C-alpha cells in the first residue's frame, strides 16, 4: 500500500486524500481507488506477476493509441508490480444486468440495448486492436495454439467428465479431441483474442457506453471464441432469440472492419461454443466438485442446459464419439432436464394440455383458459367509414384490430374513381400503381398472420379486423378484401367479409367444413 501511494505522489505531486480497497477480479491482483483532494480518482493496481502487469500495460497503451475504450495506464513502478490507471467508475455490465439475470434471463429492452452496444464494440477491439500489436508482449503466450486447446479439453475430461463417473472409451475420446483441436487452430487469424470477455470485465460510463478491462490474458486468436464465451456464459441465461440477435449485431459490426463470410463464420462459431462449454464445465468441475465452491456447483445445471441445446442442433457437435459421450452426460440423473407437470388448481382452472407458448421454467405451468380448445376459428373483416363509427364486435369477446387507412393516397379525390369502390379494377390499379397501400398492408399481414396462427393453435373461435377510411369506399374496402383473401388462402379458415357502407357481405368458406 505504501509503495502504491508513493507512486501516486510521484505521478500527481501530492498524497492521495483517501485510498480505498475495491473488489477485484478472480485473479491475485489488488485494486484500490485513490482520491485526489479535488475529488478526482485513479485506480491503483498491485500485482504479483511482472509479466502479467507488463502485458496489461503494453496492451492498454497500444489500445489507447488506437482510441479504443480501455483504461489508460498513467504510471508504472520501477519494479513493474504496481501501476496507476484511469478510473472507469463502479458500474459494470454485470451489475447493470443483475435484474434480468436474477429473473432467469428475462432482460428488458434497456438491458438488451446495453448488450447490443457491448457486442457491437467487441470487433473494434479485436480487429483494430490487433493492427500494429506486438503479440510477443502477451501473457502467458502470444497466441492460442494446439497446446492451449488440448489442455482445456483434458481439463474438461479430468475435472468434470471423470468426476461424474460416466463410462467412456478414453482413446476414442482422445481421437475426437485431436480432431477438434485441429479444426480450432486451422484458421489462424490476425485478431486480438480477449480470452476473458465477460460482463464483469465491461464497465459502463454515464451514457451506457462499454469500456473494456482485465484483458491482460489476451493473445492472437480466433474472434469466435470471445463471442461464444460471452453469449454462452451459463449464469447469464441468454435466450436463443437474444443470442441470435446479438450474433447478428456482432456480424454487422464486424463487417465494418473486415470481410465476413457469414456462413463460414456461423459454422465456426458453433465449434467455439462447443469448445467453450467443455472448457467452462472443466472449470466448474474443479471449482465445484473438488474445491466445493457453491457458486460453481450452481453454475453446472445452466451450463448443461446450454450443452443440451447445442446437441439438439445437427451441427452442434460434428465429432460422433464426442457427441455420444456428451449426450450420455446430459442424460445422467443429476443433470436430467426438469419437466413441468400439469397441476389442478383450487379455482377449477387446469393447465393447458399443449402449451403453445415457451414460458420461462420459473413461471411454472400456465392455466387453461375457458376460451381454449373450442375452435374452429372464424375471422370477420370489415370496411367502414369513420364518419359512421367503428363496427361493433357481436361475438361478445370485444376488441379486435382497427386499422386507419387514411394516411394512404385516396383515389376518392379524383373524379374517375368517385363512383367506384375498392373492389373495382380501376381503383385497384390506382392503389397498386401508387404502392402506398401495399406497404401499409405488408405490416398488417405480418401482425395478422402471427395473431391468426396463435388463435388457431389455441383453438379460439373468433377474431375481428376492421379497416376505416373517410368514406368507407376505396382504401378500406380494398384493404379489408385483400386481408380476408390473404388469411383464407394462407390458413384455409372461414372468413366473413362485410363492406358495411357498401352493403356487401361475403363468406369465404373453410374448405374442410362439412356442407
Structure confidence by residue, pLDDT tens digits, 72-82:
999 999 999 99
Asked, for residue 515, whether it belongs to a domain, the answer is: no
pLDDT given at position 444:
97
Asked, for residue 25, whether it belongs to a domain, the answer is: yes
128 & 57 share domain: no
Asked, for residue 10, whether it belongs to a domain, the answer is: yes
Asked, for residue 342, whether it belongs to a domain, the answer is: no
Cβ–Cβ < 8 Å for 85, 216: no
Least confident among 173-177, 252-256, 371-375? 371-375
Q: What is the DSSP string of 20-77?
A: EEE---SSS-EEEEEE-TTS-EEEEEE-S-HHHHHHHHHHHHHHHHTT-SSPPEEEE-
Quick one: which of 232, 213, 209 has its CA closest to 113? 209
198 & 266 share domain: yes
Structure confidence by residue, pLDDT tens digits, 277-315:
999 999 999 999 888 888 888 889 999 999 999 999 888
Could you tell me the three cell numbers for 292? Answer: 466445493
127 & 75 share domain: no
Asked, for residue 356, whether it belongs to a domain, the answer is: no
Residues 238, 15: Cα–Cα separation, whole Å: 45
70 & 97 share domain: no
How many helices (H) and strands (E) would you count in the chain? 15, 14
Could you tell me the three cell numbers for 207? Answer: 451514457
For range 358-384, the mean pLDDT: 80
Q: What is the DSSP string of 349-385?
A: -BB-SS--S---GGG-PPBPPTTTT----EEEEEEEE
Q: What is the pTM of this model?
A: 0.73
Structure confidence by residue, pLDDT tens digits, 45-97:
999 999 999 999 999 999 999 999 999 999 999 999 999 999 999 999 999 99
For range 201-216, the mean pLDDT: 96
Asked, for residue 474, whether it belongs to a domain, the answer is: yes
The pLDDT of residue 384 is above 50: yes
173 & 321 share domain: yes
180 & 206 share domain: yes
What is the number of structural domains in the chain?
3
For residue 61, what are the domain limits?
A: 2-86
Asked, for residue 163, whether it belongs to a domain, the answer is: yes
Query: What is the average pLDDT score of the chain?
Result: 91
119 & 258 share domain: yes
Alpha helices, H only, 423-462: 425-434, 436-458
186 & 322 share domain: yes
Domain boundary among 56, 86, 116: 86
Least confident among 21-30, 138-147, 318-327, 435-444? 21-30
pLDDT given at position 58:
98
Dihedral sign, CA of 54, 57, 63, 68? Answer: positive
- For 416: left if phi > 0, alpha if psi spans -120 to 50, otherwise beta; the answer is alpha
Residues 68, 320: Cα–Cα separation, whole Å: 42
The pLDDT of residue 24 is above 90: no
Domain boundary among 86, 118, 149: 86
- If one compares 218 and 396, the residue with the highest pLDDT of the two is 218
For range 390-402, the mean pLDDT: 87
Structure confidence by residue, pLDDT tens digits, 134-143:
999 999 999 9
Asked, for residue 226, whether it belongs to a domain, the answer is: yes
327 & 412 share domain: no
301 & 426 share domain: no
Task: Say what percent of the chain tops pLDDT 90.
Answer: 77
Give the confidence band of 331 by pLDDT, cuts at 50, 70, 90: very high
CATH code at 180? 3.90.1200.10
41 & 150 share domain: no
CB proximity list for 204: less than 8 A, separation 6 or greater: 89, 91, 92, 93, 96, 114, 210, 211
113 & 244 share domain: yes
CATH code at 50? 3.30.200.20
Amino acid at each position: 500500500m505504501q509503495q502504491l501511494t508513493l507512486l501516486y505522489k510521484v505521478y500527481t505531486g501530492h498524497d492521495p486524500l483517501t485510498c480505498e480497497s475495491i473488489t477485484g477480479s478472480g485473479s491475485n491482483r489488488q485494486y484500490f481507488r485513490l482520491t485526489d483532494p479535488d475529488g478526482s480518482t485513479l485506480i491503483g493496481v498491485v500485482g504479483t506477476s511482472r509479466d502479467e502487469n507488463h502485458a496489461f500495460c503494453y496492451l492498454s497503451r497500444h489500445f489507447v493509441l488506437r482510441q479504443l475504450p480501455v483504461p489508460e495506464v498513467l504510471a508504472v513502478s520501477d519494479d513493474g508490480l504496481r501501476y496507476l490507471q484511469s478510473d472507469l467508475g463502479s458500474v459494470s455490465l454485470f451489475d447493470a444486468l443483475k435484474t434480468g439475470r436474477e429473473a432467469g434471463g428475462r432482460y428488458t429492452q434497456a438491458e438488451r440495448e446495453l448488450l447490443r452496444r457491448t457486442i457491437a464494440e467487441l470487433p473494434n477491439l479485436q480487429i483494430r486492436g490487433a493492427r500494429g500489436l506486438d503479440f510477443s508482449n502477451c501473457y502467458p503466450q502470444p497466441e492460442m495454439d494446439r497446446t492451449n486447446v488440448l489442455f482445456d479439453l483434458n481439463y474438461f475430461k479430468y475435472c468434470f467428465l471423470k468426476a461424474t463417473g460416466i463410462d467412456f472409451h478414453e482413446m476414442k475420446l482422445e481421437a475426437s479431441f485431436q480432431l477438434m483441436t485441429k479444426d480450432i487452430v486451422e484458421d489462424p487469424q490476425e485478431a486480438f483474442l480477449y480470452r476473458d470477455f465477460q460482463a464483469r470485465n465491461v464497465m459502463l460510463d454515464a451514457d451506457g457506453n462499454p469500456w473494456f478491462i482485465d484483458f491482460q490474458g489476451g493473445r492472437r486468436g480466433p474472434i469466435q471464441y470471445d463471442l461464444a464465451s460471452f453469449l454462452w456464459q451459463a449464469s447469464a441465461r441468454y435466450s436463443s432469440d437474444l443470442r441470435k440477435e446479438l450474433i447478428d449485431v456482432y456480424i454487422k459490426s464486424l463487417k465494418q472492419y473486415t470481410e465476413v463470410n457469414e456462413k463460414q463464420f456461423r459454422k465456426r462459431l458453433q465449434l467455439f461454443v462447443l469448445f467453450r462449454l467443455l472448457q467452462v464445465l472443466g472449470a466448474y468441475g474443479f471449482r465445484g466438485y473438488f474445491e466445493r465452491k457453491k457458486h460453481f456447483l450452481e453454475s453446472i445445471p445452466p451450463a448443461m442446459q446450454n450443452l443440451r441445446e447445442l446437441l439438439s442442433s445437427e451441427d452442434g457437435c460434428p465429432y460422433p464419439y464426442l457427441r455420444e459421450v456428451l449426450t450420455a452426460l446430459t442424460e445422467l440423473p443429476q443433470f436430467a432436464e426438469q419437466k413441468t407437470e400439469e397441476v389442478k388448481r383450487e379455482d377449477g382452472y387446469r393447465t393447458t394440455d399443449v402449451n403453445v407458448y415457451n414460458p420461462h421454467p420459473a413461471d411454472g405451468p400456465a392455466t387453461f383458459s375457458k376460451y381454449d380448445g373450442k375452435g374452429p376459428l372464424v375471422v370477420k373483416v370489415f370496411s367502414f367509414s369513420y364518419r359512421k363509427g367503428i363496427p361493433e364486435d357481436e361475438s361478445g369477446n370485444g376488441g379486435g384490430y382497427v386499422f386507419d387507412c387514411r394516411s394512404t393516397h385516396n383515389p376518392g379525390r379524383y373524379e374517375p374513381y368517385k363512383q367506384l369502390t375498392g373492389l373495382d379494377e380501376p381503383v385497384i390499379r390506382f392503389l397498386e400503381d401508387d404502392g402506398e397501400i401495399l406497404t401499409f398492408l405488408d405490416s398488417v399481414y405480418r401482425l395478422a398472420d402471427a395473431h391468426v396462427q396463435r388463435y388457431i393453435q389455441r383453438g379460439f373461435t373468433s377474431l375481428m379486423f376492421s379497416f376505416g377510411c373517410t368514406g368507407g369506399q376505396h382504401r378500406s374496402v380494398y384493404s379489408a378484401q385483400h386481408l380476408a383473401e390473404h388469411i383464407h388462402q394462407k390458413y384455409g379458415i372461414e372468413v366473413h367479409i362485410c363492406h358495411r357502407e357498401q352493403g356487401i357481405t361475403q363468406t369465404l368458406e373453410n374448405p374442410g367444413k362439412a356442407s
